[in-house]
Amino acid sequence: MALKIFWTKRASKSFDDILAYLEEEFGEAATKAFAIKVHSFVDILQDFPELGVMQDQQKKIRGFAVVKQCTIYYRVHQDYIKILYLFDNRQKPQKK
């Protein structure tokens, strides 16, 4: 059974920020390729919610590196998945 996906405001903003950066630095093709990878991962995540690695056992937060430079963090609930944040891995790890 495919679970529903919900994006937090923070996740949507971080996704938009990454898209804006890619557009400015690398152009439309790179931006489109990244967006496709993220949306493809989210589609797969609906059917396989435990795909990511457990990042925080107590908070039940999982993470998955969509591309080498970006990790998506999410939490699996009973009947839905909440996308929490997209993290640019080139930042300081303390910001996670």
CATH number, residue 54: 3.30.2310.20
Alpha-carbon span 84 to 76, nearest angstrom: 10
Pairing of strands 4-7, 80-88: parallel
Mean pLDDT within 50-69: 92
Report in angstroms the alpha-carbon separations of 68 from 22, 71, 72, 88: 14, 8, 11, 9
Mean pLDDT within 3-15: 95
Per the structure, the complete domain to which residue 70 belongs is given by 4-95
| Sequence letter at residue 90 | R
Mean pLDDT of the chain: 91
Mean pLDDT within 46-57: 91
Domain count, the chain: 1
Asked if pLDDT for residue 95 goes beyond 90, the answer is no
Share of the chain above pLDDT 70, in %: 93
